[in-house]
Chain A
Amino acid sequence: MKRLFLAVTVVALAVTAVFALWITPPRADQGFDAVRLLYLHAPTAWIAYLAFGVTALASLLWLLPRTRGTTWDLLAGASAEVGVVFTGLTLVLGSLWGRPTWGTWWEWDARLTTTAILFFLYLGYLALRRTGTTADERGKRSAIAALIAFADVPVSYLSVTWWQTLHQQGTVFNERLSVKIDGSMAFTLVAAVVSFTLLYGYLVLERFELAQLEEGREARELERAIADRVQAEHVEVAPV
């Protein structure tokens, strides 16, 4: 099942790559081939937001007493990890794309800046998860931290927007957009978003299974430790 998932993901990514690199036209006003970064930049940004949305949802489910379970905590962690990687990629790709189009590596526009804040917020979240405490304690603290971070994002976005807006508004549906989307470009963009979403799903699945294995190993070690201790102390106190 997982192999099939992986195969479909790889095929989808390959199709996207072929379209993005050879079939779609270059653009003079976007530094010719640089426009192809769109097919990487837009989907990675989408995955970043999707991943943090999933983390927030899973955290909420952990906090509700009815649905509380380690599964949600591990899923929140797995998704946030993938999200941080994709946020980092988005920043790097955006920066690379900004150089030929805006003439600078970094613009202090609302979206780029908020994404940078997002990156650090969730780096903190991941650091919090790694502080080594009981599973329940980790679940509680990280779930609350995830929700606070999630609620902080729109406020940050608003404040940064007020502060400075240079970035193009919206991606595909804005009329003032300098990139005119033709047929093959629109298809490639959709294909890119779909294939990256598949990739996200696969990565989270892998990370989640790994986390479950880790938890399972700890549980087994714990059982063994208890058994050892009970046995050792029984022998010791037997004469009493």
Chain B
Amino acid sequence: MTKRIFRSICLVALAVLLAALVLIMGVLYDYFSEVQKEQLRVETTLAAQGVATSGESYFDGLETEGYRITWIQEDGTVLYDSQANHVEMENHLEREEVKEALEHGYGESVRYSDTMMERQLYSAQRLPDSSIVRVSSNQYTVVTLLLGMMQPMCIILFFAAILASLFASKVSKNIVKPMNELNLDEPLSNEGYDELSPLLRRIASQQEQLKTQEQELQKKQDEFRAITSSMTEGLILLNNKGAIISMNHAACQLFNVDDCIGDSILTVNRSRVLQELLAKAQNGERAETTIELNGSEYQLDASPVKSEDAVTGVVLLLFDVTEKVKAEQLRREFTANVSHELKTPLHTISGCAELMMNHLVKPEDMKQFTEQIYTESQRMIQLVEDIIELSHLDEGAEEMKYENVDLLILAKDNMNRLQSEADEKNVTMSLFGDETVVYGIPQLLTGIVYNLCDNAIKYNREGGKVQIEVRKEEQHAVLTVKDTGIGISAEHHNRVFERFYRVDKSHSKEVGGTGLGLSIVKHACKVHNAKLELQSVPNEGTTVMIVFPCTSSKF
């Protein structure tokens, strides 16, 4: 800006200077040369008169400053010259002004010097004696004058340039200042030059456009964040180099990181499973795998993001499949257990039957064998019944009828049923408590009490005790079965309610039972919304407490 202004000022100054110069040279030069010629004429006349009157003596002591006076004879021989030795000078008859003077009495001519730097004005006059006086003077040519004026002109130009630069910077500053002070946030409120208003209007409209675009973008981003942050599944977006573009809250928690946008996914998790999955996704295939994080199983789905056949990124989705995996495992275990439990008695039955068939059994042992077949088939029946009961519970107990059941009577019935077993193991059973009515399903309640008491007897020691207590509290009915048996160590507490789970697998056959008892208890409690508590100290005994809610509300 400053440079341009400076340049234009300089150009103007130069142009003005040149124009002035041309004007002065053109007009004044002619005028001055006319004046000079006039003077020369007068001088010539004076010299001619002087020579005519006083002859050669006129030249003695003549001061000829600025002029050159030559006296020439009629035949052209130089008689006197004020600046050169007249003897050596050539014949002047052929000179234009001399010729002219001889002819007309007066003559003039102009001649340029060899260098064109000067020109000589000559004027000659014929004297009465036909000799000629010639006076000449030097006149500078235009070129000489111009050259002479070079120095002052340069000085002037120099000053002009300085002034121009000063002005230029000042002017440009003055022009730019209001522009710099423009408030571009509100372009239309400015009072600048009128010339700026189209620009300001365009800025204003562009700003408006930008603002709406920004708002739209922000809105979309907010929507995206709102959706992803409330997801329970982890969602991670990666670019094609594996750097994280976006990671939702759930994913951050899963991988236990705070802010990792822009980092490589490797810094979050570097397991090989994930790397292989990503490699597949980056090749444009969808892929899935399971990965273990914080003790839970997660399914990881990776799908490539494609645009124009090139993979530009990868979307990773993580969801918890712990329950599913566990359930699947349970199912597998259950099937294996059921077949195993069914197979054991069948082997005994088939073995006994085979021996009997082949008459290898002595008649006196026959009874023992048939008894064995009977007990084993009873065990199988019990097992199948238990499984059926469990599957009923699994299906839901909707079809079963709810009734008011007195727990004390129920406990007494079951005690009687188990009396023979207790006698066999020399275990004494006692029941105490109040009449407590529970609104529930009789079959299931029987299942609870029977199985608990059965276990209390089975896992008791010789001469042990089983105490059954039915108690009524304000809002609850509490059934407690306490034994003095072998107990269950703490690490098994959570698992004993699982189907077929045995604390001591090696002795299950001796003790009998199906391994499903406590599982039935647990399910029945769930149906009745009852709370199940287990306290046990190994070798001292086990207490199972079941708390039924709201005994009276369903009358």
Q: Are A and B associated in one complex? A: no
Interface residues of B (CB under 8 A from A): none
